[in-house]
Structure formats: C-alpha cells, structure tokens
Amino acid sequence: MREAIRSLIVENDPETTRLIDLLGRRSGSLDVRWRVGSVEEGADIVRKFRPDMAIVEVNGNPASAVGPLSREFPNLYILALSATREAEYALETMRAGAHDLLCKPVREVDLSIAIEKARKARSRMEPAEGRGKIVTIFSNKGGNGTTTIAANLSDALATEHGKRVVVVDLVMGQGDVTMFFNVNPTYTVLDLARNSGKADPEYIDSLIVRHSSGVCILADPPRIEDTDKISAEQVRDMLATLRSTFDVVIVDTTHQFDEKTLAALEMSDTVLLVTLLNLPSLKNTQRSIELFARLGIFDDRVQLVLSRYLPNDEIPKESIEGILNCPIFYAVPNDYPTVLSSINRGKLLSEVAPEKEVTDAFRRMAEMLVGPATPRGTQKRKRGFLETIFRLERSTP
C-alpha cells in the first residue's frame, strides 16, 4: 500500500477540516497531521515539519492565502480550497501559486483526484538518477526570438554534445518549431498528452519527428481549437514522461501566463527568460519576474537571455542584472539578416552559417547548460540492429 500524503490544513471551518480528515483516512491516501486557522500558523508548521501538502482555504483572496506559502516554500504542493468554481477564479488561484483547486462542499471523488495529482507532482519533484533536464524558453512579449533560441540551442546540444534532445512546441495551434526545422509531423503533443501515463520509449518514438541534426520535435496541434483539449495536468505528465526518455527537453511556450505555460515553468530545471535591450521589453520582463516571484519560481532556475544584442551605451548590459535582480545567462548577438535567412530557408543556423558569431553563441549557451562539448571523435555511436547481430555472431565461440 502506498504511503499516505502528510498534509497540513489551513481552514477556520472545523466541519470542513473534519470531513477532509475523514475522507482521507477512509481512502488511506491522506494523513492530516496538522490543523491551523491562519496562513502564518501554517507557515510555522511547514518550517518545522515539512509536510507533503498544504490544503489552504483561500477565502476569496488567493494572493494573500496562497502567495506567502508558495513564495517561501516553492516545493510545497498547495491545494487551494474554495466555494467558488468559476474558471477565472481558478486561474487566479493558480497564478497565486496553488497547484490545484478543490471546491466546497468537498466530495470524496474530487478529493481522491486531487490527492492523486499531488502524489504525481511529489514524485516529479523527487530527484531521479539519470533524469533529463527541462529547459523552458519564455518571453511574455512576442517577436523576441524564443523559437529561434529553442531551435538552435537544441541543435547545438544534439550535434556538439551528443545529447538526446526533444523540442516541445506548446504554442498550441500557432507554433513555428516545425517550420524552423522544416519537418512535417504526423502526430503532435495532443497525442502524447492523451496517452502520457502509458507512454513507453517506443510509443514516444512513434510520435516524434526526427531532424537530420538528431533533434526530435514534438509538434503543436495543427488546429487552434485543439488548444483547450490539453490541460495543465496533462502538460505536467507529458514533460515528466519526456524527461525520463531524453537528456534535455526544450520547451517553446506561448507568451501568455496560461495554465499550460505555468505548468511548464513549474516543471523546469532552467527557465531562460528572453528579452531585448530596450525599455518596453525590459518593462515586460520585469513584470514576468515579479509574477515568477509571486508564484515561487523566481530562484536560480530563472536566467536572462538578451536576444538580438547590440552594445547600447544608453542601457549598459552590466546594469540589467542589478535592475532586474536576475543573472544574465547569455547575450545573443544581433545578426538579423542571417537569422531571417535561416528561417525562410527552413534551415538551422549551423547549416547556413556555421562560422557566424550568432551560430557560435548557441554552442556556447549549450556548453553553459551541460558542460564542455564532447570531441566529435569520442562521441559514442549507437550500433544499428544488423551491426549488433553480426557482432554477436562474431563473438560466439
């Protein structure tokens, strides 16, 4: 039998607390060990005992109820409790830092589903030997070059470092990843999202399309209306499945803070926050950083990437880290004609301009992410099926 999730309840209504405790004990999946009436008392419990989950009554104000806990304890799974069921309110609660919303009056089936989600999230946060790294490329403003970075960084990781890399296009129905690689997929993220719980490496391999560089692509759905067919929980399950198969999962996201994007950011080992060196872009980036802080994900995972960088005496690069309180991971030099040519030709920068400074920038970014490149002569080549058979025959006495 699986171990029950140790839980804290922050709730002033003793009847609700008693009901959750009863339903949890009946199922054997929830162990309500701590009961308090305020967020401050709850924070003290978390500091001392580190529960697996906090069930928190939001009382119509998710920011004040959930926000303090999510900021101080980014690894704490928070299940918000509310009598309000509206979708907009649920989204507001998620943005405040909750992982899920449980509606009152609490029903046993709803509590069971919420506990199972918490269990999955807990297993995702636990360290795993050989688990792949999730790198999300994000900007809350379009046109900053996030897809250019996702495509060419993944190419450098695959070709220079021999990494198994998959690029996941979460820009549902409007993504450009397949265009950058000039590939025509048969299947999309929608197919994996529907079956991520039972996906094995063979099934995943049947869904992805492989570029000549070795990079695998999991495309966005072709129809805009398919966007709503994938939930945030499915995104979490899908990324957890992919990280168990690939060395690096590169996620290209939309420019809005919807639930699917927030799920990807929450799952990420590294968030590359892309901005330009001009005031409007920096202003939007500051707003992203402020939201990251409220969500409890503004830590050493979040790093700035300056896109289309040109030295600017009016806004020195060196001052940006102090202004935004965020380290600059890399400044990608501005070579718009070369980048545009590669996009229009459906080729990567390494294919059209391997010696250019902008191409070399992605090699350097890859090295900063995973360490020095493997010399080409020492990269292990996977044996083909026939080669393996003949080798076995030669070694048989």
pTM for the structure as a whole: 0.65
Place of tokens 């890859």: 366
181 and 245 together in one domain: yes
Are 45 and 140 within one domain? no
> Is the same domain home to 108 and 211?
no
What's the whole-number mean pLDDT along residues 336-340? 94
Distance CA 213, CA 34 (A): 53
CATH of the domain at 255: 3.40.50.300
Q: Pick from 18-27, 149-158, 183-192, 381-390 the range whose average pLDDT is largest.
A: 149-158
In a domain, 393, yes or no: no
Residues 47 and 157 grouped into a single domain: no
Chosen domain end from 102, 125, 148: 125
Q: Looking at the domain assignment, is residue 296 inside a domain?
A: yes
pLDDT tens figures, 246-290: 999 999 999 988 889 988 998 899 999 999 988 888 999 999 998
Domain count, the chain: 2
The predicted-structure confidence for 113-167, as pLDDT tens digits, reads as follows: 888 888 877 665 554 445 789 999 999 888 899 999 999 999 999 999 999 999 9
145 lies in some domain: yes
Name residue 115's amino acid.
Answer: I
- Give me 134's structure tokens: 């999730």
Please give the residue range of the domain that contains residue 247: 133-378
Residues 97, 142 within the same domain: no
Q: Quick check: is 389 in a domain? A: no
* Eight-state DSSP code of residue 381: P
How is residue 219 annotated by DSSP? Answer: B
Q: Do 176 and 120 share a structural domain?
A: no
Is 341 a residue whose pLDDT tops 80?
yes
| Domain boundary residue, one of 85, 109, 125 | 125
- pLDDT reading at 392 higher than 70: no
pLDDT reported for residue 145:
92
Residue 279 near residue 315 (C-beta atoms within 8 A): yes
pLDDT at 40 over 90: yes
Band of pLDDT at residue 301, cut at 50, 70 and 90: confident
| pLDDT bracket for residue 198 (50, 70, 90) | low
82 and 164 both lie in a single domain: no
**Position 394 in a domain:** no
Q: Per the structure block, which two tokens stand in for 115?
A: 């506990």
Higher pLDDT, 277 or 297: 277
Q: What is the predicted pLDDT for the residue at 385?
A: 39
Model confidence at 383, in pLDDT bands (50, 70, 90)? very low
283 touches 290 (CB < 8 A) = no
pLDDT at site 374: 63
Query: In terms of domains, do 309 and 366 share one?
Result: yes
Which pLDDT score, from 0 to 100, does residue 393 have? 41
CATH code at 50?
Answer: 3.40.50.2300
Concatenated DSSP letters for 271-307?
A: EEEEE-SSHHHHHHHHHHHHHHHHHT--STTEEEEEE
How far is 184 from 306, CA to CA, in rounded Å? Answer: 31
Evaluate whether residue 121 is within a structural domain: yes
Examine the domain organization and report whether 89 and 161 are in the same domain: no
Task: Read off the pLDDT of each residue in 178-207 and give the average, rounded to a whole number.
Answer: 85
With 0-12 / 13-18 / 19 or more C-beta atoms within 10 angstroms meaning exposed / middle / buried, residue 168 is buried
Of the three residues 91, 109, 125, the one that is the final residue of a domain is 125
Give the separation between CA 5 and CA 51, rounded to whole angstroms.
8
Whether residue 238 is found in the same domain as residue 359: yes
Digit-coded pLDDT (tens) for 199-231: 677 788 889 999 999 999 999 988 887 778 888
Q: Is 387 within a domain? A: no
Tell me: the pLDDT tens digits for 362-377?
Answer: 999 999 998 887 655 4
Write down the pLDDT at residue 124: 58
Residues 220 and 150 in one domain: yes
Nearest Cα residue to 248 out of 138, 135, 153: 135
Percent of the chain with pLDDT over 70: 89
User: Do 183 and 296 lie in a common domain?
Assistant: yes
Within a domain: 298:
yes
pLDDT at residue 306, as a whole number: 93
- Mean pLDDT of all residues in 354-361: 95
β-sheet bridge partners, residue 165? 248
Provide the mean pLDDT of the chain: 85
